[in-house]
Amino acid sequence: MWRGLSVLASRTTRAPSRLCVCLRSGAQSLAPGSTVFALSSGQGRCGIAVIRTSGPASGLALRSLTAPREPPPARSAALRLLRHPRSGEPLDRALVLWFPGPQSFTGEDCVEFHVHGGPAVVSGVLEALGSVPGLRAAEAGEFTKRAFAHGKLSLTEVEGLADLIHAETEAQRRQALRQLEGELGQLGQHWAETLTKALAHVEAYIDFGEDDNLEEGVLEQADKEVRALEVSLQAHLRDARRGQRLRSGAHVVVAGPPNAGKSSLVNMLSRKPVSIVSPEPGTTRDVLETPVDLAGFPVLLSDTAGLREGVGPVEQEGVHRARQRLEQADIILALLDASDLGSSSSCDFLDTVVVPLAAQRPDDGQRLLLVLNKSDLLPPEGRVPSPGLPPHLLLSCLTGAGLDDLLKALRTQLAAVCGDPSIGPPLLTRARHQHHLQACLDALSQYQPASDLALAAEALRVARRHLSHLTGGGGTEEILDLIFRDFCVGK
């Protein structure tokens, strides 16, 4: 399939008009490929539902459902009575839009029917479309697949579209939109062009090295550009985890001694009763996870068992799981009872978890936010409970005091671990991107023009091939299937 799609894509680039079927010519039977239709808006009762078609018989479908009226001009909405082509029964009065290819989402002839969103209207129109010769129901992701095949979207843009459809937080939406707008693909193309130029220089040197006409310093220039590219790729790979965290959620783990108010904090941040809150120490034993939108960032928030020694086997297992989860955390929300800092469990937690983490440089990995809860229990005059503590925030889960400051601090930490999608170069958002960039770098490590020019040229070719996989130039069917699996029918 991949090869077929690529061939089609390259043909389209050369002769886009061949895929454009004139509505009035009745040429639909001449054009290759099938025509598909699907409900593209969400399922269920709603005000308006959008049903679309893509393929050469789209014009026929439009005519069949709106006869005897003429189809509207291209890309203009018009109100039409839709009728079943066989029985002539009225189905709905709907807005219809005609997008002749290649100026459409898929690059093919497309029609959109904006119908009333009742289930009977939708199923009636879908059934009517199914009765038009040459039309069949679309498979999951088929519209986007066709857009990719016709060169309307690159692979990174397809991924951006999938992420945009699934984006649940503001930061995810920003990152996905940037990728859909082609920023990551353009960066990949820019890198590939650098390699093409360097390759041209090396090849020129191989062919005309002895020739006086060749500009001086050609090899040195290529060398400089390749080394600069290596630095840039390394920087992006170092940043790769951030884009992926933003896509799938940062791990924030709430930890602390028993009864510090960990479950209360998790419930407050997630605004739902995820965990049982009780004055009895050792209530939470399993790790409880909940996805939350924290200050616009996607977070997987975990509540854990209070860390303490000398307890029964079930709680011991809970403590073991809590420690495991701590190791996987991107951000640790370390919680202590501000009115109980002198207890042995508080001191143990400070010594074994907080102090070692606070000593780390923040860019070394895990980030720590130390929070002293139950500030409402402190005497009003003695607001700083222990001057020797690492930097901390005061909070009361009971009264909500200090919550705004905590959210602000969390936002800063989340922006650091996920990357701020509004600024800076586009981030790598998937393991696939990381894989291709790493493969490109590995190939470049074989680039040693001083020792062997032919091998150096080959290294550049291999590196360029890996980069082209980033945006979908040459690849495997499995990658495509994996990406399009994220789409549902109608997308």
Q: Which residues bind Mg ion (CB under 5 A)?
A: 262-263, 283-284
Structure tokens at 12: 């389209």
C-beta of residue 421 within 8 angstroms of C-beta of residue 401 = no
Complete DSSP assignment for 58-88: HHHHHHHHHTTSPPPPTT--EEEEEE-TTT-
Question: Which stretch, 260-268, 360-368, 448-456, 472-480, contacts ligand GDP (CB under 6 A)?
Answer: 260-268
Work out whether the CA dihedral 427, 105, 11, 2 comes out positive or negative. positive
Residue from the set 259, 302, 345, 468 that interacts with ligand GDP by CB under 6 A: 259
| β-bridge pairing 392-394 and 367-373 | parallel
Q: Which is nearer to ligand GDP, 215 or 309 (by Cβ)? A: 309
How far is the C-alpha of 460 from the C-alpha of 197, rounded, in Å? 10
How far is the C-alpha of 31 from the C-alpha of 3, rounded, in Å? 20
Interaction between residue 304 and ligand GDP (CB under 6 A): no
Q: Which is nearer to ligand GDP, 401 or 454 (by Cβ)? A: 401
Question: Which stretch, 107-115, 125-133, 180-188, 278-286, contacts ligand GDP (CB under 6 A)?
Answer: 278-286
Interaction between residue 35 and ligand GDP (CB under 6 A): no
Query: Residue 101's binding partner, choosing from ligand GDP, Mg ion, none, with beta-carbon cut-off 5 to 8 A by kind?
Result: none
Q: Which is nearer to ligand GDP, 284 or 413 (by Cβ)? A: 284
How far is the C-alpha of 491 from the C-alpha of 486, rounded, in Å? 10
CA-wise closest residue to 370 among 264, 260, 292:
260
How far is the C-alpha of 179 from the C-alpha of 441, rounded, in Å? 22
Interaction between residue 272 and ligand GDP (CB under 6 A): no
Q: Smallest distance from the beta carbon of 301 to Mg ion, in angstroms?
A: 13
How far is the C-alpha of 302 from the C-alpha of 282, rounded, in Å? 16
Q: Which is nearer to ligand GDP, 399 or 445 (by Cβ)? A: 399
Residue from the set 28, 35, 144, 264 that interacts with ligand GDP by CB under 6 A: 264
Query: Residue 398's binding partner, choosing from Mg ion, ligand GDP, none, with beta-carbon cut-off 5 to 8 A by kind?
Result: ligand GDP
SS3 99: strand
SS3 331: strand
Instruction: Please state at what angle helix 155-166 crosses helix 477-484, rounded to 10 degrees.
Output: 20
Report the Cα 93 to chain-centroid distance in Å. Answer: 38
Q: Smallest distance from the beta carbon of 306 to Mg ion, in angstroms?
A: 7
Residue from the set 66, 175, 194, 283 that interacts with ligand GDP by CB under 6 A: 283
Interaction between residue 302 and ligand GDP (CB under 6 A): no
Interaction between residue 251 and ligand GDP (CB under 6 A): no
Q: Which is nearer to ligand GDP, 200 or 398 (by Cβ)? A: 398
Q: Smallest distance from the beta carbon of 339 to ligand GDP, in angstroms?
A: 8
CA-wise closest residue to 300 among 269, 260, 275:
269
Strands (E), 158-262: 250-255
User: Residue 301 contacts by C-beta under 8 Å, 6 or more apart in sequence?
Assistant: 252, 253, 254, 266, 269, 270, 274, 289, 290, 291, 292, 294
Q: Which is nearer to ligand GDP, 178 or 285 (by Cβ)? A: 285
Can you name the residues that pair with 255 across neighbouring β-strands? 334
Q: Which is nearer to ligand GDP, 348 or 376 (by Cβ)? A: 376
Question: Which stretch, 7-15, 204-212, 368-376, 446-454, contacts ligand GDP (CB under 6 A)?
Answer: 368-376
Q: Smallest distance from the beta carbon of 250 to ligand GDP, in angstroms?
A: 21
One-letter amino acid at 155 equals L
One-letter amino acid at 55 equals G
Of residues 60-119, those binding ligand GDP (CB under 6 A):
none
Query: Residue 194's binding partner, choosing from Mg ion, ligand GDP, none, with beta-carbon cut-off 5 to 8 A by kind?
Result: none
Residue from the set 68, 73, 279, 388 that interacts with ligand GDP by CB under 6 A: 279
Query: Residue 244's binding partner, choosing from Mg ion, ligand GDP, none, with beta-carbon cut-off 5 to 8 A by kind?
Result: none
One-letter amino acid at 351 equals D
Cis peptide before 119 (omega within 30 of 0): no
Q: Which is nearer to ligand GDP, 242 or 374 (by Cβ)? A: 374
Question: Which stretch, 106-114, 129-137, 261-269, 343-351, contacts ligand GDP (CB under 6 A)?
Answer: 261-269
Structure tokens at 244: 């992926």
Query: Residue 264's binding partner, choosing from Mg ion, ligand GDP, none, with beta-carbon cut-off 5 to 8 A by kind?
Result: ligand GDP
Residues that bind ligand GDP (CB under 6 A): 256, 258-264, 277-279, 283-284, 306, 373-374, 376-377, 396-398
